[in-house]
Amino acid sequence: MKPMARLISLITCCTVLATATSALAGDNAFREVFEDAFYGGAAGALVGAALLAFAKKPADHLDYMAYGAASGVLVGSAYGLVKSTRSLAQIDNGSIKFALPTVLPDLSESPASRQTTITWRAELLRGTF
């Protein structure tokens, strides 16, 4: 089990270190990703601990919590990266940055027919002027 734990630790470290974000005062992307990864790890550890109730010998399967925490950190950091990326292209101080846009669902109600429809919105261009 130790090689698997080392592999998961290595992948987690590489994921955290490979994500480059700008360090501007108004930009909280790193904090957002870190918080999401932390909460994902905590939730994953809780799920792993809950799965111990279904094991015949829970003391032999304490690695469920570690696997849950590791997968929670990975899912949480991926969620944080997607959430912190806002638009396809961002213009900032004369330079253009490209990233994946965040697709958000939106509810809109037609005043004439009183029907509610779900629309999907993605920001393609964002800039500060």
Structure tokens of 35?
């918080």
Measure the CA angle with vertex 46, ends 41 and 83; round to 5°. Answer: 35
Predicted pLDDT at 102: 64
Answer for the pair 128, 89: CB distance below 8 angstroms, yes or no: no
Q: Please report the pLDDT score of residue 95 as a whole number.
A: 73
Residue 17 included in any domain: no
Q: Is 110 inside any structural domain?
A: yes
pLDDT of residue 115: 83
State pTM to two decimals: 0.50
Q: What is the DSSP string of 67-92?
A: HHHHHHHHHHHHHHHHHH--EEEEEE
Q: Is residue 15 part of a domain?
A: no
pLDDT score for 89: 63
Would you say residue 6 lies in a domain? Answer: no
Say how many domains are in the chain.
1
| Three-state SS at 102 | coil
List C-alpha distances in Å: 89 to 34, 40, 83, 122: 23, 28, 15, 11
Which residues span the domain enclosing 59? 26-128
The answer to whether residue 13 is domain-embedded is no
Q: Is residue 11 part of a domain?
A: no
pLDDT 10s digit of each residue in the chain, 129 long?
576 667 676 666 556 555 544 444 445 777 888 899 999 999 999 999 999 989 899 888 889 999 999 999 999 888 887 777 665 566 667 776 666 666 677 777 877 887 888 777 776 666 655
Q: Is residue 16 part of a domain?
A: no
Q: What is the pLDDT of residue 112?
A: 80
How many C-beta atoms surround the C-beta of residue 113 within 10 A?
A: 8
Residue 19 belongs to some domain of the structure: no
